[in-house]
Amino acid sequence: MNATDRTPADLLRSALAADPGRPLVTFYDDATGERVELSVATFANWVAKTANLLQSELSAEPGDRLALLLPAHWQTAVWLLACSSTGVTAVVDGDPADADLVVSGPEPGQLAAALACSGERIALALRPLGGRFPQPPDGFLDYAVEVPGQGDQFAPFAPVSPSYDALVIGDTALSGAEIVERALADGRGLGLGPGDRVLSGLSYGNWDGLSAGLYAPLAAGASVVLCRNLDRLGAEALEKRVESERVTVRREG
């Protein structure tokens, strides 16, 4: 990171300037066998497209609240950084009825809950390679249909203040500056530095999971091996993954 980095979006810009080709997020789903690796440049491109979708197509404005009903997943990480880029507040597992817009995963319970949002509703199929729903859920835009045509570069209509509430987890609201501060402290606590690889099987439903699975590696110039359904992987297979992915820090819960 640079000394001027005050928001998660700043951290991503610094990572992109430093080494766009290095891995940033490697994602596994041990229920489906999916593996996808995103370089800093590829991840940043997804963030830019998603931020453009938010700002231009969904008319989201700074201070709007977005209920984020998604698991620990690489696309969830994209949405968190897109919110930071636009000044939208990401409310993790928030009440859609109290949100200006909602982003839901494909589970029937999530989709049913998300219908309580009176604003824009976006659904993610969470299929390998960012695939579409076979049939989009009624009342929702399919993220995989809407995002590809968005621009590859993003500029907010107005500068995003580091003091705005970038993230809400339970009863705790964190500004962009507070996220960066916490992420740096967590990275130091884990001994992270450039080139480190953090394997995280933690949920994104709390700060520990968000930090280990995104923010701390981003702030430290490290990368994350984000594992969903890690409990389905046997001990021997896990050790092979740790070796093959050159993992230096493990957070398995």
Digits of tens for pLDDT over the chain (253 positions)?
Answer: 676 789 999 999 999 999 999 999 999 999 999 999 999 999 999 999 999 999 999 999 999 999 999 999 999 999 999 999 999 999 999 999 999 999 999 999 999 999 999 999 999 999 988 889 999 899 999 999 999 999 999 999 989 999 999 999 999 999 999 999 999 999 999 999 999 999 999 999 999 999 999 999 999 999 999 999 999 999 999 999 999 999 999 999 7
Question: Which CATH homologous superfamily contains domain 8-251?
Answer: ANL, N-terminal domain (3.40.50.12780)
Q: Residue 163: helix, strand or coil by DSSP?
A: coil
Domain borders along the chain are 8-251
Query: How far apart (Å, rounded) are the C-alpha atoms in residues 142 and 139?
Result: 10
pTM: 0.97
pLDDT at position 1, please?
Answer: 64
How many Cα atoms sit within 13 Å of 205 on the Cβ side?
6
Q: Pick from 7, 156, 177: which is nearest to 81 by CA?
A: 7
Please give the structure tokens belonging to residue 47: 């963030």
pLDDT at position 24, please?
Answer: 98
Q: What is the largest CA-CA distance in the chain?
A: 50
- Output the CA torsion sign for 219, 231, 72, 94: negative
Query: How far apart (Å, rounded) are the C-alpha atoms in residues 171 and 167?
Result: 11
